[in-house]
Structure 1
């Protein structure tokens, strides 16, 4: 029985650093009143004001999702008992250059808190595919180097396993804005998008030709 051909197993890796494709903002409306009904009515009015700002942003805003709602009694020392209402939304902005302007517009609204932005790639970003394929190319390159080092060459692909992809997130901390209201009419915020790092890894096994015996002094 002939012995199986020698093999070489390698791990290929790739690290891509790219600009973010989207940003998300957390927008919270908080209102207080002597009774729950009024607190809720004011909260709805605050929501309408937020919706108007988001509508004015046009195609820059890709999605608005409700993240949480709370209505609760509130007692503060020196004040009559009352009620408070909050509603939080997650806003997805598809044009990162427009984030600063949108944050300022939302921050001018009374009773509105804006936090973020959180920079990220789209779930279906082509960068994910690029990282995966780059990892395969790295594995082939490494395997060829190892085979050549012993005087052999790759002859067949035996196995390829997707170790996975991961996002290392921003390389630098993303700026955070916690804003109440702005007075300056021409206020602008310069927000620098944080670069995104995507890591890809694969494990690949190849068959190779018999090594050159002279490499081992044989």
Structure 2
């Protein structure tokens, strides 16, 4: 009788055996870190009685905003122009589709790494005509060392918890059987971070407005792992 190599392999026992008891634990880490970037959104508006006037005003104001952002050099890590629109406004009364005005809008996002310049920049932007500033949204970079620290702490927590269970039985761990992120087999959809605050446009009169005093929002990093170990048979 011939036995194939697959049939010769021992069947995995999910709950261990008396000779190799198995421990399953979860390791968690909840840490806080200072943010690494701050994102602001700038919406530039324009309104004119004809399409060309609205477009010219929007182009001029958009250029003013971009030029101001670029004066901050390396403090602005990323600068992007998003949605742009020119929309006609119809008269509410009267027959036919008669246009009363045109509304222009362009949205810009900027990521900053120098938080000392953030308050001054947001104030100067909000002081521009028909300009709205939203944010800042504080965050960590995807490759931030903070994520690694949280994962490592979660693993250490799992090992420590398993050791404590083994010690309670008067024995020690023998080997690591499995280590997995929570949800590794069924990944969950990512949810965007909640905004770190909202600033609405301010129309300052007279002297230049004082820079806003913005306190960075601490970022919470969470990591979870499942771990399974075998331990030396305890004497019960």
Instruction: Verify same fold: TM over 0.5.
Output: yes
Cross-structure match for 1:216: none
Q: CA deviation at 1:19?
A: 1.0
Shift of 1:212: 2.6
What residue number does 1:126 align with?
A: 145
Is the 1:111–1:180 Cα contact (8 Å) retained in structure 2? no
Q: Which whole-Å CA distance do the structure 1 matches of 2:192 and 2:30 have between them?
A: 10
SS in 1 for 2:211: coil
Partners of 1:167 and 1:212 in 2: how far apart?
A: 48
Residue number in structure 2 paired with 1:193: 216
Shift of 1:116: 0.8
1:178 to partner: Cα distance: 0.4
What corresponds to 2:88 in structure 1?
73
Does residue 39 of structure 2 align to residue 16 of structure 1? no
CA shift, 1:69, in A, is 1.2
Answer yes or no: is 1:99 the counterpart of 2:118.
Answer: yes
Runs (5+) with no aligned partner, structure 2: 1-9, 11-16, 94-98, 185-189
Pick which of 37-46 and 158-167 moved more. Answer: 158-167
Q: Which residue of 2 aligns with 1:162?
A: 181
Indicate the residue corresponding to 2:204 in structure 1: 182
Shift of 1:188: 1.8
Whole-Å separation in 1 of the counterparts to 2:116 and 2:91: 41
In structure 1, distance between residues paired with 2:126 and 2:171: 65
Shift >2 Å, 4+ stretches: 1-4, 75-78, 164-170, 180-184
Q: TM-score by structure 1 length? A: 0.88
The residue aligned with 1:212 is: 235
When Rg is computed on C-alpha atoms for both structures, the one with the higher figure is 2
What do you get for the CA RMSD once the two structures are aligned?
2.4
Q: Please state how far the C-alpha of 1:50 moved relative to its aligned partner.
A: 0.3
- The whole-number CA distance in structure 2 between the counterparts of 1:168 and 1:68 is 19
Q: How many residues align?
A: 210
SS of the equivalent of 2:150 reads helix
In structure 2, the residue matched to 1:7 is: 22
